[in-house]
Amino acid sequence: MIIANWKANGDIESNKIWCNQLISRMSDKGFKSIGIAPSYIHFNQIKNMLKNNGIEIGFQDIDIEGGARTGSISPSMAADSECSFCLIGHSERREIFNDDNDTISKKYKMLAKHHIKPVLCIGESFEDFQAGKTEKKLQTQIEECIQGNILSENLIIAYEPVWAIGTGNTPKPKDVNTIHEFIKDVVQSATENNIVPQVLYGGSVNKNNAADFFVQQNIDGALIGGASLNADIFSDIIDIYRRLRER
């Protein structure tokens, strides 16, 4: 799956142009395996423009519950909006909004309860990477975020090294492949029902490096920030993904 993470970007006019460009690029090839996570405020606009094509429209985050929580969007609101997937644990939420693994685990539980596909984001800091602690860090994040939860078949993990997000720096695709294999093993051993999740890579994916990632056996797609803001570039990346992964 290829997911666009628009973060706090977009406006009504430019979203319209983006959707029309995507439709003109994809309408004869189909919209399978494409997800878009716009801002909450633009969710319905994007849903109305694209949902009939089968594109999955999701949220970038969710709160753990509803009620007296000013400024929040509750899990039942997400379900009510027909949100198809939801990112949780993105490093910007962890860093700027102090989401810890315990909170992310609660969010996971609520998504499962409301039958919304969870896209659990994990990733190590540059210090952890340099100290050779990547696998240890990822294992802790996975175990603490899914602890005590029954894993759904549709769980997606997005591996996003914090130091690769929005920087233009990426780990070597071969190393990412090894890490994805490790992530699949950790998730599988943490679940009673032996779930092997799809694992997406995220962090400075663009149309020039996408092929190097998608040829790797365990890289099942991408979570794309900056390069997803341009519909033509995003479509180019989808084309590359399909050529290499959907044979």
Q: 42 an active-site residue?
A: no
Identity of the residue, 35 or 202, whose beta carbon is nearer to ligand PGA in the bound complex: 202
Is residue 95 part of the annotated active site? The answer reads no
Q: Using the rule CB under 6 A, is 54 a contact of ligand PGA?
A: no
Instruction: Please tell me which residue in 56, 92, 124, 160 is annotated as part of the active site.
Output: 160
- CA-nearest of 43, 49, 59, 53 to 10 is 43
Task: Examine residue 162 and tell whether it contacts ligand PGA (CB under 6 A).
Answer: no
Of 7 and 148, nearer to ligand PGA (C-beta) is 7
- Asked if 166 interacts with ligand PGA (CB under 6 A), we say yes
Among 160, 199, 240, 241, binds ligand PGA (CB under 6 A): 160
Q: Which stretch binds ligand PGA (CB under 6 A): 9-17, 111-119, 126-134, 224-232?
A: 224-232
Q: Does 203 bind ligand PGA (CB under 6 A)?
A: yes
SS3 5: strand
Cα atoms found within 13 Å of the Cα of residue 6, Cβ hemisphere only? 24
**Nearest-approach distance from CB 141 to ligand PGA, in angstroms:** 15
Out of 42, 90, 92, 180, which one is annotated catalytic? 90
Q: Quick check: 123 binds ligand PGA (CB under 6 A)? A: no
Out of 226, 233, 239, 244, the residue judged to bind ligand PGA by CB under 6 A: 226
Distance of CA 80 to the CA centre of its chain: 21
Number of residues that bind ligand PGA (CB under 6 A): 13
Q: Is 225 in the site for ligand PGA (CB under 6 A)?
A: yes
Is 220 near ligand PGA (CB under 6 A)? no
Out of 1, 2, 4, 5, the only residue in the binding site for ligand PGA (CB under 6 A) is 5
Binding status of residue 128 toward ligand PGA by CB under 6 A: no
Whether the CB-CB separation of 75 and 113 falls below 8 Å is answered with: yes
* DSSP-based three-state secondary structure for 201: strand
Q: Is 204 in the site for ligand PGA (CB under 6 A)?
A: yes
Q: Cα 8 vs. chain centroid, distance in angstroms?
A: 15
Verify binding: residue 224, ligand PGA, rule CB under 6 A: yes
Give the catalytic positions in this structure: 90, 160
Binding residues (CB under 6 A) for ligand PGA: these are: 5, 160, 165-166, 202-205, 223-227
